[in-house]
Chains A and B, each alone.
Chain A
């Protein structure tokens, strides 16, 4: 498609980019904004490694055409840490040893944020459902579940 100007809010800042609207949001983030925290696993909405928040909801950025985010708010893993310090969910992942190869972690953490925004007191089953679109091939799911439950505890303290 012909390039267009697309305006949206990226990690809290209004941005403007001249881009092919048929480009995926994932490629837009990685290649045009240099935000490489969101990962490309399958590129077809199966693995969730590219999960970002679109208007506060978890979505697969590999399935979103750039044109769709015009006027929306996008939040990526890069927005979480402050002054080089991990946020409470990232911290919980470290504390619980929920990171192995690390490729699924950004997506898992964004799905955790999406869950906690809507449901600050999830039970284990709700956590599992929330990350059911995120594959971890090291299969450290148990620690990830624990890390998200710990994040919820911190949130409610």
Chain B
């Protein structure tokens, strides 16, 4: 047999153990036909155990098998990790969101996958299990080995879930993107922010713009610049300038030129921070 549908995590791991190293795990498999079709597949897309969304002890746990449609429509995710819900609703088309999973969005390792960008900005940790049931926890941005190349060997390890510290009062997150069309288009740039505001001052911030590096990567210099600054127009302008300066981008025929992308990074980062900050302080959003 070469196409196996696993019904449980246990079964998937057993199948991996029996058939490694030739077998490859797939979930939604929406990119399968765009690549060379692997010889042996273990389909984990219908494993119910990978489809949970729950909040436990201040952490939001989202199964790797949760589809973008489910994540985007989840009240819990919208409330506790807003940027992730927003990002999920921007991925591909309804047809792709219905079948593509959060785990796949990360493991496919595209540099500007919307959900992955939001996960990194939210400080998400991936929980993985190997064939011998050993568990390891890794920050999502550490799961990338290069452009479109995951650091995880999906012939030996299974991504179980993401753990995200729930946003509490005084915290907010947001995701924004810019593309040639409003639907079904690759982002030229996307950005996600998680921010904590205390007495009008930025006390914590995670800032990600992509595609900048092979993995969604935090703009650490801009983060540092913004810490301790007050949440006001002047700070947003500083953020825009700093982010555009910090991001070392390249141009691509697929997306846009390097100059344009640099400009977009600044604008989008500034927009995302403003929305996230507004959410943090419980302000009303327009339209």
Interface residues of A (CB under 8 A from B): 1-2, 4, 21-22, 24, 43-46, 48, 51, 54, 57-60, 62-65, 67-68, 70-71, 111, 114, 129-130, 132-134
Contact = CB atoms under 8 A, between A and B. Distances in A.
Nearest to B32: A65
B33 A67 contact: no
B33 A133 contact: no
Nearest to A43: B33
Nearest to A21: B3
Given A132-B184, A133-B183, A45 B95 contact: yes
Given A24-B33, A43-B33, A54-B99, A67 B3 contact: yes
A67 B5 contact: yes
A102 B34 CA distance: 26
B93 A2 contact: no
Contacts, number: 91
Q: How large is the interface on B (under 10, 10 to 19, 20 to 34, 35 or more residues)?
A: 20 to 34
B98 A57 contact: yes
Which 9 residue pairs spanning A and B have beta carbons closest together? A133-B93, A67-B3, A21-B3, A132-B183, A57-B98, A1-B2, A133-B95, A60-B95, A22-B37
Contacts of B30: 45, 60, 63
B33 A44 contact: yes
A48 B3 contact: no
B29 A68 contact: yes
Contact of A4 (B1, B95, B182): B1
